[in-house]
Amino acid sequence: MNTMTLVRLSNQILGRIAPQTTANKMAKLFLTPRNPPLKQWEQDLDANCERVTFAGDLNAAIWGSGDKKVLLMHGWESRATHMYSLVEPLLESGFQVVAIDGPMHGHSAGDQANLVAFSEAILAAEVAFGPFVAAVGHSLGAAALTYAIELGAKINCCALISSPACILDVLHGFGGFMGLPKKAQTRFVQYIEAETGVPARDLDMGRILSETKMKTLLVHAQDDQEIPINALKKIHKAWPKSEILMADNLGHRKIIRDTDIAKQVQQFIQQNHEPYEGDIKREQAV
């Protein structure tokens, strides 16, 4: 019996005896990222960019000096350097690239790591480095980018790579994977909602994109095991004007290292970036 099987079995038993304690333990695990040391190739990248501290304890990597700026937001247990495949194509198009390390990730400090904290970091980056003509997010970073737009980030064009459709789906998926019984899973979701201050059901990417009329490229791998392809389909159903780019055999993480995907994202941004006009779009939609 492997370790993961034992963890699930333990949660199934303890989750019925002590649902709150079990839920709290799993929630703390869910909200605590691992942050391994930088690999040599990442150190080399850091040596060739400008590292800037902003908003007190957050950090960003900046490449290029173009007038038009693109924001990159990595996913959970990732960091700015992991988005590097996108940098070169964007630089070749004349953009400046700002890739931020989310709270408690990479070079950034902080005392909370969750979708809302990531979204607030994006808003802080906009104040420090913006305006941004476009943004790219991966996984949790894609969801955080979407929520940042709802909170007021002035961006008209985004590429969402391996994005979840709704955070409630993610929480239920994690709870099920960890073997939480129904009562413990309900309390697990409540714990996360208390930490973020936002109902998980409200963090619905398709709804947000449709309401903001965002120019959107949805990128997903057919074989993604962490955020299944059905997430893309749910977002696109809610916001049919989003464009779709599907990939094969790139899973959840290889997809952000793929140079062909990076080039197609760059082409989308090149064709769709423009000065912010979200307020005008909202007036027209009423």
Mean pLDDT across the chain, nearest whole number?
Answer: 92
What's the pLDDT score for residue 1?
60
> What residue type is assigned to position 98 of the chain?
V
Would you give the end-to-end CA distance of the chain in angstroms? 58
Cβ atoms of residues 94 and 132 within 8 Å: no
Q: What is the pLDDT of residue 23?
A: 93
CATH class in words for 54-163+209-286: alpha beta
Q: Two tokens at 43? A: 């150190």
Spell out the residues 6+ positions from residue 79 whose beta carbon is closer than 8 angstroms to its own: 35, 42, 101, 102, 105, 106, 107
Please name the amino acid found at residue 244. I
pLDDT value of position 279: 55
Per-residue pLDDT tens digits for 169-199: 999 999 999 999 999 999 999 999 999 999 9
pLDDT band for 274, please (50, 70, 90 cuts).
Answer: confident
DSSP state of 137: E
| pLDDT the model gives residue 3 | 82
Q: What is the pLDDT of residues 236-272, one digit of tens each?
A: 999 999 999 999 999 999 999 999 999 999 999 999 9
According to DSSP, the residues that pair with 217 across neighbouring strands are 159, 243
**Residue 133: is its pLDDT beyond 60?**
yes
What's the gap between Cα 105 and its chain centre? 13
* pLDDT score recorded for residue 273: 86
The one-character DSSP state at 36 is P
Q: What is the pTM of this model?
A: 0.92
Instruction: List pLDDT tens digits, range 56-72.
Output: 999 999 999 989 999 99
pLDDT per residue over 138-154, tens digit each?
A: 999 999 999 999 999 99
| Residue 40: C-alpha distances to residues 37, 44, 45, 212 (Å) | 9, 6, 9, 41
Return the structure tokens found at 190: 């409540």
pLDDT confidence band for 6 (50 / 70 / 90): confident
Domain with CATH 3.40.50.1820 in the chain: 54-163+209-286
Hey, how many other C-beta atoms are within 10 angstroms of the C-beta on 48?
9
- Nearest-CA neighbor of 156 among 136, 138, 141, 134? 134
Distance between CA atoms of residues 88 and 91, nearest Å? 5
**Angle between helix 205-212 and helix 278-285 axes, rounded to 10 deg:** 90
Burial of 6 (0-12, 13-18, 19+ CB in 10 A): exposed
Edge to edge, what strands does the sheet with 58-63 contain?
A: 50-54, 58-63, 96-101, 69-73, 134-138, 157-161, 215-221, 243-247
For 67-179, where are the alpha helices, taking DSSP H only?
87-92, 115-129, 140-151, 167-177
As a whole number of angstroms, the distance between CA 134 and CA 69 comes to 7
> What confidence tens digit (pLDDT) does each residue in 73-128 have?
999 999 999 999 999 999 999 999 999 999 999 999 988 899 999 999 999 999 99
Helix (H) or strand (E) holding 54, with range, is strand 50-54
